[in-house]
Amino acid sequence: MPQPLTHLDETGAAHMVDVGHKQPTTREAIATGRITMSPQAATAIKQGTIKKGDVLATARIAGIMAAKKTAELIPLCHPLPLTRVAIDLAPDETGVTITATAATYGQTGVEMEALTAATVALLTLYDMAKAVDKAMVIGEVRLLSKKGGKSGDWTA
């Protein structure tokens, strides 16, 4: 039997889930995504020759900032006191793979923060390198793992 949708009340109206009764626990989520591009754009990013500046450093900061703003972007997300956000960028000859980790000690998970961080970091890469390659493709954004909470650990 499918699980009930937690963000709908008994009348079907959307609402923020009450997590006030839940015990805080250490929680972590890891998300990933990829942007593929021309070899020319990938080389320019790796060599640091994009005219807008340090693409990888800017994407890292954008991802961190995005994780901190998730509750402002996703309507039913709880604002969380993040204890850590890490953005790993792995450029190669056809693009960049991003891995975003978000952690907190709280009453609800950080999956949305990790996914938001990865997505905004990818969008930042696109924005900074679009003069070299407008045909870049952002994709493969997904949750890799989550730890903590009542439902326990999960890995893709």
Residues of the chain above pLDDT 90, percent: 78
Catalytic pick among 88, 92, 127, 133: 127
Q: Where are the alpha helices (DSSP H) in 69-132?
A: 70-73, 111-129
* Per-residue confidence (pLDDT) for residue 150, from 0 to 100: 84
* Per-residue confidence (pLDDT) for residue 1, from 0 to 100: 53
Query: Tens digits of per-residue pLDDT, 54-105?
Result: 999 999 999 999 999 999 999 889 999 999 999 999 999 999 999 999 999 9
CB 72 within 8 A of CB 80: no
115 is written with which tokens? Answer: 């996914």
Q: CA nearest 32: which of 100, 96, 78, 94? A: 100
User: Is 88 considered catalytic here?
Assistant: no
SS3 119: helix
SS3 30: strand
pLDDT band at 23 (very low <50, low <70, confident <90, very high): confident
The pTM assigned to this predicted structure is: 0.89
* Per-residue confidence (pLDDT) for residue 53, from 0 to 100: 93
Query: Tens digits of per-residue pLDDT, 138-153?
Result: 999 999 999 998 888 9
Distance of CA 142 to the CA centre of its chain: 9
SS3 47: helix
Return the minimum-mean-pLDDT range out of 1-5, 29-33, 145-149: 1-5
